[in-house]
A and B are shown apart, each in its own frame.
Chain A
């Protein structure tokens, strides 16, 4: 029987295998950020332990970072957390992309940019969106702080082998339908826990045709479907993205790596615990209307009604009350007061290009506050070189410094209570973007269009949507 890429990578990383124990799995790379690491370093200090592989650990500052004047941190506790990361990295000899670094940015944006994330690796971070790195054909998953400490000390984790799920999407996506719409469609269809206990392999034409940025968007949201990790087998798209990046092997060694990486692809006769096959041509641009990512509908659709019994009535009632929406209302009737283009899901250069193309000389709708928060300093510089910042600014968008920003509003960027935000982030949980904030998850193109129109619009109806695709 053949093996899937998931089993191949897993098996290559087993340090110890014995009865009645999970596998002791080697971790190739750990990313660190300020919010989920201080207690882990403190744990090491209390026990007099060291970091086993500082050379396989990389830190950045992203969650708490202000996006306007980044050196002016009003919140004392947030500053203390950033200072703690700085001190911990110095004490344990870990590379840190701090606020002064041209490499600073959201951990899941900079890792791939720097070429740290490579195919076949096991990668962890104290952040559930670590699944992003699966786009390169690695097993990458989020962990808690105790596990962060465990990996710092031992470079391993005790893990039971997850089940495998093959998610195949075939056909061609329609004009204006993006990677974000594909993953939101999947989660809306199968629920926020369909992937629990599994690693997803995304297969089929739709993912093959995607750029690395688009694959990252899809893998990023695996966790919103309950799967700790999701991946795409590496191919020429992956290799050409990686070639020449800072931490990627060069010259002949790169060619050797490519040969290795090619062998990771799932065997023809690989067997999965679950298989799902979908037709990509049926997917519309998506908008979430509720309080979890599964509560989403096509932009041409409606908020569900109680009579339809699609969602438990108590849950629907609570979601509609929080969101201030009525059952059965058209998605295009939802007003939008805020637009956030950013987050580890959609803040890369392609995402910003996608949003900028929708603007096409138009201006942000009266009463809408719109902002673009590039995922990293590198993305910001590149966007500025391409003149995207000017397109955004002249349309009335705010152009910010890089960080997690309004995805979870740990920094000062937040949506006021009761107001609606079209957001390219990953979670529409209650209070995520601020107490009482009403989040609607969309693609960057849909978010830009909502900024211009002050409500959700079906971008397939616009001519420029065809150019974007």
Chain B
């Protein structure tokens, strides 16, 4: 996993609440057995019509949202299915950071396992950013170690992230290799509980 510390980028706006993972990556694209190559199918049914042509009214097809690497969205982003294909497709499309007032639990966890930061701000901060982001050359800077987000026009906000996840993201660690260091504790647990038996 690539470490993330100070991140600068332009933001796209998807002003919709309750965007579910079925929209982020529709089911017909879940049959691949790889982790890569999902970006071209991101928001497929919203981005493309039945003939595969881009729908001009969909936010990500609009000119101001091109060449962006941060996605600003409405509340409860990533609800529904647990498919990790959702962050895989966002990341593969080019989004490294998502900003929203709130996230579904499984999606949030899936993001962090893939080097993506789900930044949660207050609804009014998100509203402000949605309005500001449409200006050309508007850029946001995310400082993960200090848990802050700012623009070049004086806006600054802080966000919460569990210290454990922050460390994982900042250092780009492989979580399983960390956990394997607890092997003795896991074995001890297994020998003193019902986990000693098979099912």
A residues touching B (Cβ–Cβ < 8 Å)? 12, 15-16, 20-22, 24, 26, 28-29, 35-36, 38-39, 42, 47, 49, 52-53, 55-56, 58, 63-64, 75, 77-78, 80-81, 84, 116, 126-128, 141-147, 149-150, 153-156, 158, 160, 192-193, 196-197, 223-224, 226, 228, 247, 292, 312, 314-315, 318, 408-410, 417, 427, 429-432, 435
Can you pick out 23 interface pairs between chain A and chain B where the beta carbons lie within 8 Å of each other?
A24-B179, A28-B199, A35-B83, A36-B83, A39-B34, A55-B199, A58-B199, A77-B31, A81-B33, A128-B80, A141-B106, A143-B109, A150-B179, A154-B180, A158-B164, A193-B79, A193-B104, A247-B199, A315-B17, A315-B18, A410-B27, A417-B50, A431-B45
- The count of A-to-B residue pairs whose CB atoms sit within 8 angstroms is 177
Distance in Å: Cβ of B101 to nearest Cβ of chain A: 10
Alpha-carbon distance between A160 and B164 when the two chains are bound, in angstroms: 10
The 5 closest A-B pairs by CB, nearest first: A144-B84, A146-B113, A144-B110, A38-B33, A55-B198
Contacts of A156 in B (CB 8 A): 179, 182, 186
Q: Does A26 contact B182, Cβ atoms closer than 8 Å?
A: no
Interface residues in B166-199 (C-beta closer than 8 Å to A): 175-176, 179-180, 182, 185-186, 189-190, 193-195, 198-199
* The one of B31, B34, B80, B82 that contacts A78, using a Cβ cutoff of 8 Å: B31
Q: Does B199 contact A29, Cβ atoms closer than 8 Å?
A: yes
Q: Does A142 contact B195, Cβ atoms closer than 8 Å?
A: no
Contacts of A84 in B (CB 8 A): 33
Contact status of A35 and B30, CB under 8 A, knowing A24-B179, A292-B18: yes
Q: Does A430 contact B23, Cβ atoms closer than 8 Å?
A: yes
* The one of B17, B23, B80, B176 that contacts A150, using a Cβ cutoff of 8 Å: B176
Interface residues on B, range: 35 or more
Q: Does A128 contact B186, Cβ atoms closer than 8 Å?
A: no
Contacts of A56 in B (CB 8 A): 195, 198-199
Distance in Å: Cβ of A157 to nearest Cβ of chain B: 9
Contact status of A22 and B84, CB under 8 A, knowing A146-B110, A158-B175, A196-B76: no
Alpha-carbon distance between A58 and B110 when the two chains are bound, in angstroms: 22
Alpha-carbon distance between A147 and B175 when the two chains are bound, in angstroms: 10
Contact status of A145 and B22, CB under 8 A, knowing A39-B33, A49-B176, A75-B31: no
B residues touching A (Cβ–Cβ < 8 Å)? 16-18, 20, 22-23, 26-28, 30-35, 45, 50, 75-76, 79-84, 87, 102, 104-106, 109-110, 113-114, 162-164, 175-176, 179-180, 182, 185-186, 189-190, 193-195, 198-199
Q: Does B179 contact A128, Cβ atoms closer than 8 Å?
A: no
Alpha-carbon distance between A141 and B110 when the two chains are bound, in angstroms: 14
Closest to B110 in A: A144
Contact status of A64 and B31, CB under 8 A, knowing A26-B186, A154-B176: yes
Contact status of A26 and B82, CB under 8 A, knowing A47-B176, A226-B76: no
* The one of B33, B104, B180 that contacts A80, using a Cβ cutoff of 8 Å: B33
Contact status of A36 and B84, CB under 8 A, knowing A22-B162, A158-B179: yes
Distance in Å: Cβ of B11 to nearest Cβ of chain A: 20
* The one of A24, A146, A312, A408 that contacts B185, using a Cβ cutoff of 8 Å: A24
In this complex, which of B33, B75, B76, B185 has the most chain A Cβ atoms within 10 angstroms of its Cβ?
B33
Alpha-carbon distance between A239 and B50 when the two chains are bound, in angstroms: 51
Q: Does B179 contact A149, Cβ atoms closer than 8 Å?
A: no
Distance in Å: Cβ of A256 to nearest Cβ of chain B: 11
Contacts of A427 in B (CB 8 A): 20, 22, 80-81
Q: Does B106 contact A143, Cβ atoms closer than 8 Å?
A: yes
Q: Does A193 contact B109, Cβ atoms closer than 8 Å?
A: no
Q: Does A15 contact B182, Cβ atoms closer than 8 Å?
A: yes
Q: Does A12 contact B193, Cβ atoms closer than 8 Å?
A: yes
Q: Does A127 contact B195, Cβ atoms closer than 8 Å?
A: no
